[in-house]
Structure 1
Amino acid sequence: MTGPLQYIDLSQPSLWIAVGSILFNPLFWNIVARQEYRNKVLTRLAFNNPRWGCYALAVTIFSLGILRDHLYHRALAEQPQLPFLHYTEFKLLAIVLFAIGGTLVVTSMWALGVTGTYLGDYFGILMDHKVESFPFNVTSSPMYTGSTLSFLATALWYESPVGILLSVLVYIEYQIALSYEDPFTAAIYAKRESDRAKGKGKQVSPDRSVTASGGSSVRASALRNGATYREL
C-alpha cells in the first residue's frame, strides 16, 4: 500500500480498542455523574455519603484514564512510523508538549482538589470561589487541554501518524463533552445562587457538606473545567 494509508494499519485490534477506550471515558463519567445528580445513585451506594461516592467515582475515572493511556501506548507501538517524525526536533517538541500538558493537568487538580476535579458539584459538593489563578488564567479547561497535549506528545514520540489522528479525536471528543458539561455545571451553580437569594435550600459548606465535564467538573474534564471554584 502506498500513500498516507501505508502509515495506518486498520487491521490491528489494538487500534480499535484504543479508540473505544478514548470514546468511552467521557461518555461514562457524564452519564454516571448526571445519574448521581438526578437520582443520587452513587451516594446511596456509598451509604448516603456523597463525599465517599465522589471519591469512588474519582478512583474509577482515574483508573479508566490509566487503562486508556496504556491501550493508547500499545496501539501506537503496533502502528507504522512516519520517517519524517524521526527528526530530533520532533522528539524535543514531544518533550515540551508533554511537560506543558502534565503541568496543566497537575496544577488544575491541585487548584480544584479531588472533589472539584472529579465532578463533586454533581454530588452537591459545591465550591464557593471561582479559581482564576494558574492554570485557569491560561485556559478555561486545563485538564482537557493538558490531556490533549499529552496525547499529541506521545504520538510525536512514537513517530506515529495514527497517534496524531487519535489526538485529534481526543480534542474533538473533549470539545463535545464541554458543550454538555459547561452548561450543566453552570445550571447547578445558578440554582445554588437562586436558592440562596430566595432564602431557600440548604446552606452548603463547600468543604464539608453537601446538598449535586466535562465541564465541567474533570474535569478530564477527563474534565472538570466549569467547576473552577476553590473549596473553602
Structure 2
Amino acid sequence: MAGFVDFSQPSLWLSAASIIFNPTFWNIAARTEYHNKTLTKLAGGKPLYGCYGLAATIFCLGIVRDMIYERALRTQPGHPLMQGPLAQALAVALIGSGNTLVLSSMWALGITGTYLGDYFGILMDEMVTGFPFNVTGSPMYWGSTMSFAGTALWFGKPAGLLLTAVVFVAYKIALSFEDPFTSEIYAKRERERKNGGKKAQ
C-alpha cells in the first residue's frame, strides 16, 4: 500500500479529516438543534430559516471537502491498472450514477427534507418511496461514495480508493446515528397524532 499511496502528503490527511468532519458536524448541529433549538434561536425563532442556514453551511462544506479531495489526488502516485479506457469508462459510470442518486434524492426530498429539516420540526407528510429510495434507503450517501470512487478512477490514484473507504465508513457511522433518531422523530409524531395532538414522550 505504501508504494501506491504517499502517506507523507499533508493533503491526504487533510482530505481524510474533512471527509470525517462533515457528517460529524451536521449530526452534532442537528442534534443540538433538536434538543435546544440553537439554530432556530439564531435565526430569530424561525426554524425554516435555521434549516436553510444549516443547508447552506453543509453545502459549502461539501464543496470545500470535494476541492480538498481533488487536490489530494493530484499529489498522489498513479497506478497503471487504474488507467486506460476501461478505468475511465467505469469512472464515468460511477460518477454519473452517483450524481443521479444524489440529485434525484434532493429533488424528491426538497431542501428541508435533504438538509435535516425533521430535526427542526419540519416533517414530511409521508415517507418517500419512489426513485431513488426504491434503489437504496440512503441514496445521497451511497451516491456520494460512488462519485468519490469514480473520481479516484478518473485520476487513476489508489489513494482515492483509500479515501473512498474513509467516506464509506464515515457515512456508515453517521447512518447508525441518523436512521434510528429520524425514525423516532416520526414515530413520536404518530404517537402525538394518536393522542390527539398531545406531546408524546
Q: CA deviation at 1:116?
A: 0.1
For 2:4, the equivalent position in structure 1 comes to 7
Taking structure 2 as the reference length, the TM-score comes to 0.97
For 1:24, the equivalent position in structure 2 comes to 21
How many residues are paired up? Answer: 199
| Matched letter for residue 124 of structure 2 | M
- Is 1:83–2:80 an aligned residue pair? yes
**CA distance in structure 2 between the partners assigned to 1:20 and 1:171 by the alignment:** 14
For 2:195, the equivalent position in structure 1 comes to 198
| Matched letter for residue 93 of structure 2 | V
Higher helix proportion (structure 1 or 2): 2
- Is 1:158–2:151 an aligned residue pair? no
- Is 1:171–2:146 an aligned residue pair? no
For 2:111, the equivalent position in structure 1 comes to 114
| Matched letter for residue 136 of structure 1 | F
**CA distance in structure 2 between the partners assigned to 1:11 and 1:74 by the alignment:** 15
Q: CA deviation at 1:159?
A: 0.5
Aligned with 2:71 (options 69, 74, 88): 74
**CA distance in structure 2 between the partners assigned to 1:200 and 1:151 by the alignment:** 44
Identity of aligned residues (%): 59
Aligned with 2:122 (options 100, 120, 125): 125
- Is 1:187–2:184 an aligned residue pair? yes
**CA distance in structure 1 between the partners assigned to 2:58 and 2:77 by the alignment:** 30
Deviations 1:107-141 (Å, cap 9, x if unpaired)? 00000000000000000000111111100011110
For 1:210, the equivalent position in structure 2 comes to none
Deviations 1:23-81 (Å, cap 9, x if unpaired)? 00000000000000000000000000000000000000000000000000000000000
| Matched letter for residue 6 of structure 1 | G
**CA distance in structure 1 between the partners assigned to 2:111 and 2:188 by the alignment:** 23
For 1:206, the equivalent position in structure 2 comes to none
Q: CA deviation at 1:201?
A: 3.7
For 2:146, the equivalent position in structure 1 comes to 149
**CA distance in structure 2 between the partners assigned to 1:148 and 1:200 by the alignment:** 40
